[in-house]
Chains A and B, each alone.
Chain A
């Protein structure tokens, strides 16, 4: 069972029910559960969307798209049924926040799904969890069943005359399915390969119908926002970055864990105060600030606020909120190789720049890491990564290229040390080890 952590700087909105047994519907009801959805029914779709817009909530999956605006893009009238899709395929390395959310507050996700449904005029929502999260799927399934038993889901919810159903779904192991259109393919019983956009899901999504797809944390924010008011939520964060978010701080820190911090909170403080500083008194070397796809920050670059815009200005991304901390002992070459190996493994093979690029970079870095590279290899890795950017259907190609560029540009010296034979590590990567690499 994941350990719950706490720190005085936390602002608990979405995590306020953690550790209180709120997976139980009675406890959830005691803690203001299912009040927001009733308010939403009373006030109507326009009010919901305006409140969400005012909250400044931006997508917590990583892209940071304003949620209220996303909901407003769904056409009011549609011949095909509309759907709400909750993305709980949490797979970005360094990210485990939805894990905690599903475990401690599954009803907030159900209630949020209902609210999104009311906002766009949908009658059916799906909650999709990655296949590895079976024990969490059980928890969500029980929560959904309990909500049906209470009459909160199904026909005529809360006497509104509106029907709303929720189906839970399991994946079966695929990072790529976390991408919204690939997730829809998977939910339609197909290989999780991405669709070309446009059309966007808000117009043509699941089963060809208009679809709102949101990350589980994004959806779970909706009930809190409706109860506290959009402006009040927005004020917790920074300009254009409303509210709080769950940050999973992992790697070389003293107190790893999932913490809820206001948007814009200092990255330095998150590492040194909230997570207790670098493990065993070592020095900080680098930070991957928002899941493995985000360009690395060096130890000198951490005086930055954790919101989408400030992180963008710093040349990286807020991403999924998974902050991975590297101490001075870490070999960046080895780390970069592990990251690209992941993306090479997970590339679905649909787009050639991603399929070939990840493989080629992995092979090159394997050679460099084993002490057999040449200076040209570093330029070649950079050239490959630059040419993957923006040339694929989905962002997996970018997700592989961006961190690679960061490592090569900011730690070029370390790559050169390997090539000059000043550093040789035992090759680490054991999956598909290259034969005769030297």
Chain B
């Protein structure tokens, strides 16, 4: 049987809605990975390694899923010549958001492989740092959504990303001061922990970069 022919307007409408759904799913994936990451690190700090491993695996899967979704969206944007003016910006936005997820996945993999020993006296601060970094990722996801759907709200969300990034810097510096001032840890352990703190800090940094880019794209769109 010949395939049923659809009206062109309906086809365009359906195609647009499918693509919008894919972009939303991509952002949902980043958000979900960020939450799983936060939960995973909590289990790690509680030394519940079985649960931690489950979360780490989940983050890895989500990272793969996000990659597939991103490629699909990018291909469709190009193949169907959508958004001729904003296409470059949208592509950069998706790729940079995906980079944040890559760092999250890379960090949790690091925890799983290298098993850094986190001393009890910084447990709370490390979790604070993870909370701030993931909060900046959550805000980043909201900012990207706003770029697509509600451009006037972008500014507020960017302010929140910046706030969380600053907070994570503050907590990160505090942790590094504490560990390098500690007399109970040897230098190798100090440097090992510091590397992970830097990784956690870079999550918020990358999220902030995405926010900065969006603020420029918004000007371009409203011009």
Is A bound to B? no
Q: B-contacting residues of A (Cβ < 8 Å)? A: none
Q: A-contacting residues of B (Cβ < 8 Å)? A: none
